[in-house]
Amino acid sequence: MANATIIEPLAMTAITAPSGSAAGFDPAVLANDLLGVVWQAPVAATSIIQIDMGADVTFDSIVLLGCGGALSGAQIAISIATAAQGSSFVSAWNGAAEAFLAGATMPRSGRGKALWLAPVGAPAAARYIRINLSALGTSIAFNAGRVIVGKRIQLARNFSFGAARGVRSLGNVDFSVAGVPLVRRGAKLRTIGVTFNAVYNDEVETSVQPLVERVGTDVPIILVTDSAAHADRQNRIYFGYLAGSPGTIQARAGSYQAAFEIVALD
């Protein structure tokens, strides 16, 4: 088991698809948080998504969400180039191919998730990222709703027992005077609540509190409750908004408490 991972999405200057897009689909939508609005590739065994961060930035994680189509058996490989190396990727660092799906068990939504964590030897900072997709098959088109590039926060001490998994239902039920149920169905959003009860002072000052102050409750983040390889890892990835009043509390001398409650979009 690995400690929980928090990833804040970094701003991206441009997203393109050098291998092409299906008619009517724009890869730029991969930068918005509307997971139901997808980019779709042409029906082909391979596809490429290319990201321009605008300048060399530090990152170590890439996540794709809301993915559909040819996912079974698909693979992902990452190529990385600095601003000095340029967007041709001639002198880029090239990572090994790995299974596209973060775990074998699919989410209830049926939309897949990919989680790439930089291996030892990957560049710490770069401008250009190429996501190379292969083994997509030639009968169903691949599509995706969001791509996220970020630098993960993994605290030295994991969250405490008492993690709360639940659902926020956006529908409601009322009753008529005759006792007839009046149902208005709505989406059901996953929720997760975890509390880190022993966060070191330097972690609060350099990582946790700055993150909370940047994202507030209106910028989504990624929480992976356990990033270790596992069949159920897709369901351990939450992408959504912090609820309540996020912040940190000095619970005792030398350490803080930080609680994260997330309403997930995925």
CA distance 197 to 30: 35
What percent of the chain has a predicted confidence (pLDDT) above 90? Answer: 94
pLDDT at residue 266, rounded to an integer: 87
DSSP, residue by residue, 2-17: ---EEEEEPP-SEEE-
Q: What is the per-residue pLDDT across 199-212, written as a single tens digit (0 to 9) for each? A: 999 999 999 999 99
Whether residue 137 has pLDDT greater than 90: no
Contact yes or no for 203/152 (Cβ under 8 A) = no
Arithmetic mean of pLDDT, 113-123: 96
Q: Which residues, 6 or more positions from 194, have their beta carbon under 8 angstroms from its beta carbon?
A: 4, 159, 163, 164, 223, 225, 259, 260
Contact 148, 62 (CB under 8 A): yes
- Given a cut of 90, is residue 63 above it in pLDDT? yes
Query: What is the rounded distance in angstroms from the CA atom of residue 196 to the CA atom of residue 208?
Result: 11
On the question of pLDDT at 168 being above 90, the answer is yes
Radius of gyration of the chain (CA): 20
Per-residue model confidence (pLDDT) at position 170: 94
State the CB neighbour count (10 A cutoff) for residue 261. Answer: 19
Cβ proximity of 41 and 143 under 8 Å: yes
Mean pLDDT of 230-252: 94
Residue 228 corresponds to which amino acid? Answer: A
Other Cβ atoms within 10 Å of 258 Cβ, number? 25
The pLDDT tens digits of the residues spanning 69-110 come to: 989 999 999 999 999 999 999 999 999 999 999 999 999 999
Q: What is the pLDDT of residue 213?
A: 96
